[in-house]
Amino acid sequence: MSASQEVAAPQADPVCTDKLPSAARGGPVGHAISRVARLHRTTAAKLLRGAGLYPGQEFVMMHLWDRGPVRQSDLIKAVELDPSTITKMLQRLEQSGHVTRSPDPKDRRAVLVEATEKSCGLLDEVTLVWAGLEEHALAGLSQAERTQLVALLSRVEANLCTETGGCPAPGS
């Protein structure tokens, strides 16, 4: 019983010696968040499809719809995405006619972004889709549970921001 050569012949030959049954140990919250987020995104994708938007673009459009023309850098700060992501997304949104980009006369480095009139037709649809999705996702949860869910998520978000130095100041 000293040598670990015969490991009781595991049916599936776990390759890496023995080790723990990882499935359980893998952070349950991390897994849950990943799965829920992916599900949420793909459902949003299907719903948004009819509107001609890809998932992720809604956030940008929403910001433009109620902020009017903004500098691209403001947009970046608002949605907290990588600048290059925004650049490319805007190029596509411009090509599909949802957005207009023009150089800022006051700062020749900057670019002003604005939702086109055509895109305004989507506002209602997108709003509806999001409301429906939210309700679908939260079906059966009491108001208290909903607020607690967002509270917990906010705390997790705050945690993930600290120390990594990847987030803007939580205050403003």
Partner DNA sequence: GAGATTACCTTGGTCGACCAAGGAATGGTT
Partner DNA sequence: AACCATTCCTTGGTCGACCAAGGTAATCTC
Tell me which of 102, 103, 153, 170 binds a copy of itself, using CB under 8 A.
Answer: 153
Q: Which does 118 bind (CB under 5 to 8 A by kind): DNA, a copy of itself, none?
A: none
- For a copy of itself, give the closer residue by CB, 1 or 45: 45
Residues numbered 75 to 104 that lie near a copy of itself (CB under 8 A) are: 80
Alpha carbon distance 78, 158 (integer Å): 16
Sorted by sequence, the CB contacts under 8 Å of residue 87 that are 6+ apart come out as 72
Q: Roughly what angle, to the nearest 10 degrees, separates helices 72-79 and 83-95?
A: 110
Size of the site for a copy of itself (CB under 8 A): 75
Which residues, numbered 41-70, are part of the site for a copy of itself (CB under 8 A)? 41-44, 46, 59, 62, 64-69
Do the beta carbons of residue 92 and residue 60 sit within 8 Å? no
Residues in contact with DNA, shown as a per-residue x/- string from 104 to 133 under the rule CB under 7 A: x--xxxxx----------------------
Q: Does residue 66 touch DNA according to CB under 7 A?
A: no
List residues binding DNA (CB under 7 A): 38, 42, 45-46, 54-57, 71-73, 76, 81-92, 101, 104, 107-111
